[in-house]
Amino acid sequence: MTKGLPIIDLSSFGDDEGVLNQVAGEIGAACRDVGFFYVVGHGVGRDLMTEAFARSKAFFALPFADKQRLAIETIGGNRGYSGLLHEALDPKQGPDNKEAYNVGLDLEPDDPELLAGKAFRALNAWPDLPGFRETLLAYFDACAALGARIHRAFARDLGIATDFFAGKFDRPMATLRLLHYPAAASGAGERIGAGTHTDYGNLTLLATDDVGGLEVRTRAREWIEAPAMPGAFVVNIGDCLMRWTNDVYVSTPHRVVNRSGRARYSIAFFFDPNPEAEVAAIPSCVGAGDSARYQPILAADYLKYRLDASKPAGL
């Protein structure tokens, strides 16, 4: 029975075939088991991570009216501010006690896909905070590079060309999401910061502060904690990649419960494919005599379906 999440060191992971095979084996084993793992030695600078958290706290400290001017409903394209109780990842548990701010692929105003009105193509919206845009875009780019490296390991583990995913993630529907979970009021008990859910895309890179709260449900249906590990990312598989791998990889339910009495901050990077990428079962993941468990679907259609389902009734 899994009692903790694997820790995988990427510090030697480059072009060496032997290291690629080793890392791919470790990642593949985690993806088939609990669907979560930590990565260390990942190449995203500690100073950049620290600065991103500082910018996040500055944003959430703004007056509500300033944040609401960047509301996700106004900005579109899954970008902008999502207020408290605005989402319900598990509708049975009610709205989530969190607020968030999303940044997507940074586009120029004359980008052809933006002008054509393609799904999930929009301009980012920026608060009037010094250094905010520059820090978040640098963090976005660093996480995208790390996500691409990890996808090379996925491909090797799955027995396909290591560049299989490269052309499907060169203009991704990736989302960098700042998250703030307020402390529960005195005597209010624990609050569900994020209801039980699986992530929607291919891969999530999560950085957290020192306040715990992330819990993962193993295949044995046992809830285990994913404690904060300074400088590390918690990595998990999303439903899109599970679908791509015909359920060879596991997208695992998880939740956030803030029991600390303190505010909690985290930064999630959701690595979703290009909108037009077709998500269809990888042939090596379909056994002889078996068939694909899911019909092919465009990545943008799948993401829209999942995001729409997370909105509380009446919103």
What SS3 state is found at 52?
helix
pLDDT surpassing 70 at residue 313: no
Q: pLDDT at position 309, please?
A: 74
Using pLDDT thresholds of 50, 70 and 90, give the confidence band for residue 35: very high
Q: pLDDT at position 185, please?
A: 64
Q: pLDDT at position 68, please?
A: 96
The per-residue pLDDT of the chain, averaged, comes to 91
Q: pLDDT at position 1, please?
A: 33
> What does the block give as tokens for 296?
């092919």
d(CA 196, CA 41): 29
pLDDT surpassing 90 at residue 95: no
d(CA 166, CA 88): 32
Find where tokens 């088939």 sit: 32
What SS3 state is found at 202?
coil
d(CA 23, CA 20): 5
Q: pLDDT at position 88, please?
A: 78
pLDDT over 70 for what percent of the chain?
95
pLDDT surpassing 90 at residue 40: yes
d(CA 121, CA 111): 9
Q: pLDDT at position 2, please?
A: 44
The predicted-structure confidence for 127-179, as pLDDT tens digits, reads as follows: 999 999 999 999 999 999 999 999 999 999 999 999 999 999 999 999 999 99
> What does the block give as tokens for 269?
């990077």
The predicted-structure confidence for 64-79, as pLDDT tens digits, reads as follows: 999 999 999 999 889 9
d(CA 188, CA 26): 41
d(CA 6, CA 205): 15
pLDDT surpassing 50 at residue 46: yes
pLDDT surpassing 60 at residue 119: yes
pLDDT surpassing 70 at residue 247: yes
| Structural domains of the chain in order of their starting residue, each with its CATH number | 7-309 (2.60.120.330)
Q: 235: which strand partners?
A: 37, 205
Q: 8: which strand partners?
A: 39
Q: pLDDT at position 43, please?
A: 95
Q: pLDDT at position 15, please?
A: 82
Q: pLDDT at position 310, please?
A: 64
Q: pLDDT at position 186, please?
A: 54
Q: How far apart are the first and last CA of the chain?
A: 40
The predicted-structure confidence for 265-289, as pLDDT tens digits, reads as follows: 999 999 999 999 999 999 999 987 7
Is the model more confident about 302 or about 307? 302
What percent of the residues of the chain are helix, what percent strand, and what percent coil, each to the nearest 5? 30, 20, 50
d(CA 14, CA 268): 24
Q: pLDDT at position 27, please?
A: 97
